[in-house]
Chain A
Amino acid sequence: MIVEIGHFALVLALAVALVQTVLPLWGAERGDLRLMGIAGPAAVVQFVLVGTAFGALTLAFVTSDFSLALVVNNSHTLKPLLYKIAGVWGNHEGSLLLWVLALAGFSASAVWFGQGLPLRLKARVLAVQGALGAAFLAFMLFTSNPFLRLASPPMNGGDLNPLLQDPGLAFHPPFLYLGYVGLSMSFSFAVAALMEGRVDAAWGRWVRPWTLAAWIFLTIGIALGSWWAYYELGWGGFWFWDPVENASLMPWLFATALLHSAIVVEKRESLKAWTVLLAIMAFGFSLIGTFIVRSGVITSVHAFAEDPSRGVVILFLLVVFVGGALMLFAARAGALEAKGVFQIISRESALVANNLLLCVAAFVVFIGTIWPLVSELAFNRVISVGEPFFNAAFTPFFVGLALILPIGSTLAWKRGDLNRSAFGLWPVAALAIAIAGLAYAVTSGRTLLGPIGAGLGAWIIFGALADIWGRTGRGDLAGRLSRLTRLPRADWGRIVAHAGMGSVIFAAAAMTAWVSEDIRVLKAGESFALGGYEVQMVAVNDVQGPNYSAVQAEMRVTRDGAEVVRLYPEKRFYPVAGMPTTEAAIDYGLWRDLYLVIGDPQEGGGWAVRSYIKPFANWLWGGALMMAFGGLLSLTDRRYRVAAGRGRVPVAAMLGTSKG
């Protein structure tokens, strides 16, 4: 019964989404207040309906309702509750439902927080959101319905893939989807602005919080995925340049560019057309990412079980929405005249350079991701484009970005003084070079990657500190310190996010360059030396988990005779799914992670054991968290709160502003 309610709610949601699309658009054209007014309530109702459907599906998973095909294929009664819930989005249909829920959630938030928006703009934004919702709801109902029943329900389910039964991955998809879908708000604002034929500072102020929110979610989602790969896959890699990862990185890069260019629109009323184009591209690449992941075309060389028909539908939606938006852009971009002027040496130019580098980096990722397909189809040449290529082709642009970041963020708007900015940054540059040199000396020159990463990281982090100190103006120390506490949160957000970026760059280089690895056969009681530590395999035991059985090694790690930690790496076997997994045991630390993995039993006794020391691993995820936190600080800046709260304006006055 509840399942039917959920199914019915989904169908109703489609109807509401259609209403939300058509009537407000028509109303906005005719200037009809009542028709425009439908958009808000419709968006909220749509959210409630999709939420009902999602709740119904979740309930079916929690209660293990095996009359649903989806539950049978992705759940099992023995599974812990958390993973029963995570099973809802651990599959195509359910994840699509989550996608649509996020979309409806963002529309409803636009209603709740966007009370200061001009009615006409708001109606158009919600109408575009409604059109997206309608398209994806139809896609779901007609090709991937999560509520399909089985005629003869089995006694138990097929279990969720064991690799996914993990807290890191349970929350990875929701964050990623909130990020992907959050960019739809930027897209809708861009399309609505093109319909209006007007982009101004106020538009920049409205679109930026949504982009920021989406960017925060994307950042956390990507970081969670990377962290999961690190501890779950058994050898401590954190980024593989896999098409699935690239699919999330491309929208992130565009969203990052959009964040920065929207500032220029907001503060200087320049780069308007470019910002609108970026907003379209950012969401377009979210859709391309969805397409890549779900159609499986990119990896078709070794076909698994992808469903090309789904890919075709997503490709169709991509062409309709992004193609349509781009045509609208081509027709209307000329009307978006820029107001602010700026010199070549200025904050604006620095942000243009930032945008250029980010977009080129995203383009490199895109070409690398699709080229195997293009090459095979167009040139009949089967090639691989893998990790070594991306490391070589992508990194230079990010190094460039890292180099200009501290300079750009201290340049003045409109007309900057390179000499003055450089003057403040000389100590930072000297410090960064010193740190790079120190890193080179200490690591006995094994590789340049580590020192360069350390230097760049220091350059950005200390550059951020110099930046915030520069904000406090002149005067005595006490005055500057007190001003420091009163700086707007947006300034603090920028500093924290930039420093986080520096930390990520440093950690990625350090982990790649300075990892130490050991592979050997070890019998119980034996020990070996690992970078200053002594690792002893005390015993190997069989243990039983709730839905798996495991072999667990007890490893004692000592340093100079004193025990540091006891670690318990496992090899698990999940009988329902028939799959083994490796559970690495990690001792997390500020300066290094100790990472132990137990492998197969060897002929002649003993176990294969791999161990790693991963330097500065936590700086990577810490840096990503700092970036997200910086975004959050920026999002709570006073000017957005004021803009959001500016709601109690008479309707007629609001319509007036939208006409003007």
Chain B
Amino acid sequence: MMRRIAIGLFVLLLVMRLAHRAHAVEPAEMLADPALEARAREISKDLRCLVCRNENIDDSDAPLARDLRILLRDRLSAGESDRQAVSYIVERYGEYVLLTPPADGSALVVWLAGPLMLLLGGGLALQRVRRRANAAAPEALSPDEEAALAEVLHRKP
């Protein structure tokens, strides 16, 4: 009976995500050159801490995130461009490490879904609204209806 079902998942997932969030970039890791450090921080925000849940390496306190931060700073200090440093990390850890999905192949779907939906929905809505606006003019009554109306209007109460 003592299944470990106790801690609700809602809570658990939240917590697993947050447990390591206490402090991320340590002062000792930071580069002396402020421009280089700023670049490193910017790139870090788009790299996933691979053992965490939906957390970038800049925010994560996990040891792996720390290793990645230091690796990234080493590459940048060695004079690599942002792109070179990132692709080096992607080569080693796979594209899963990128928090922004690449815009190619099947991953294109996430990028195109919104705009396509807007076009499709917008087109449909416009067509409906147009039809609606055209239907605005009331149709003329048929002769039978005219007769019925006249009868109703002239009937004595």
Contacts and interface: CB of A to CB of B under 8 A. Distances in A.
B129 A349 contact: yes
A335 interface: no
A384 B100 CA distance: 7
A600 B9 contact: no
B16 A304 contact: yes
Interface residues of A, number: 93
Interface in B8-62: 8-19, 21-28, 30, 45-46, 48, 51-54, 56, 59
Nearest to A94: B8
Contacts of B59: 235, 237
Nearest 9 CB-CB pairs, A to B?
Answer: A73-B6, A386-B99, A92-B8, A91-B8, A599-B23, A364-B114, A388-B100, A379-B106, A341-B136
Contacts of B98: 383-384
Interface in A141-164: 144, 148, 150-151, 158, 161, 163-164
Between A72, A359, A386, the greatest number of chain B beta carbons within 10 A of the residue's beta carbon is seen for A386
A270 B11 contact: no
B141 interface: no
Interface stretch (B66-74, B81-89, B117-125, B146-154): B117-125
Contact of A383 (B1, B7, B101, B122): B101
A602 interface: yes
11 contacts: A70-B6, A234-B21, A242-B53, A244-B13, A293-B13, A294-B8, A359-B121, A384-B98, A386-B54, A388-B45, A521-B27
A306 interface: yes
A384 B48 contact: yes
B8 A356 contact: no
A59 interface: no
A330 interface: no
A457 interface: no
Interface of B: 1-2, 4-19, 21-28, 30, 45-46, 48, 51-54, 56, 59, 94-102, 105-107, 109-111, 113-114, 117-118, 121-122, 125-126, 129-130, 132-133, 135-136
Nearest to B41: A517
B13 A163 contact: no
A225 to B, nearest CB: 9
A364 B115 CA distance: 9
A580 B136 CA distance: 66
Contacts of A91: 6-8, 11
Nearest to B24: A235
Interface string A478-501: 000000000000000000000000
Interface string A619-657: 000000000000000000000000000000000000000
Given A70-B6, A163-B19, A344 B101 contact: no
B132 A270 contact: yes
B7 A161 contact: yes
Contacts of B26: 519, 599-600, 608
Given A235-B21, A382-B96, A579-B19, A95 B121 contact: no
Given A304-B16, A367-B110, A383 B95 contact: yes
Interface of A: 69-70, 72-74, 90-95, 144, 148, 150-151, 158, 161, 163-164, 173, 232-235, 237, 240-244, 270, 293-296, 299, 301-302, 304-307, 310, 338, 341-344, 348-349, 352-353, 356-357, 359-361, 363-364, 367-368, 371, 375, 378-379, 381-389, 392-394, 396-397, 519-521, 571, 579-582, 597, 599-600, 602, 608, 610
Q: Which of A158, A356, A396 has the most CB of B within 10 A?
A: A356
Contacts of A148: 1
B93 to A, nearest CB: 11
Contacts of A378: 106
Contacts of B94: 382
A374 B90 CA distance: 21
A279 to B, nearest CB: 18
